[in-house]
Amino acid sequence: MNTTDKHNDRIANMTFSSVYPMYVKKVEAKGRTEEELQQVITWLTGFGNTKIRELIDKKVTFHQFFQMATLNPNAGLITGLICGYRIEDIENPLTKQVRYLDKLIDELAKGKKMEKILRKKEA
């Protein structure tokens, strides 16, 4: 799916710190914890809790955030619809990475089991 350059630029320049409180609110409203949220972020990005807090404090953009991340090799297993877009059809790499995060957080908020959220390839 083609997203517009304007859409991609807006996502790239959005700060992670501006969205993080909304992530926390979303998962806590559904009975999940901030610790579980951080576990999901760590799985996707490789960032530990201290690094996540540091990036929030530095007010990094999503562009900077994902530039520093080491994306989980199983991130490509994240598929489906999020925010009206089919993840596997998004062509812009950064927009796709942000939608990966959105999808994982959505699944957490919907009560999906952590083992299912943190995708593993079948052996």
Full-model pTM: 0.91
Q: What is the mean pLDDT of residues 33-47?
A: 97
Q: What is the DSSP string of 62-87?
A: HHHHHHH----TTGGG--SEETTEEG
- What domains are there in the chain, each with its CATH number? 5-117 (1.10.8.290)
For 52-61, 76-85, 90-99, which range has the lowest pLDDT when averaged over its residues? 76-85
Q: What is the mean pLDDT of residues 78-92?
A: 90
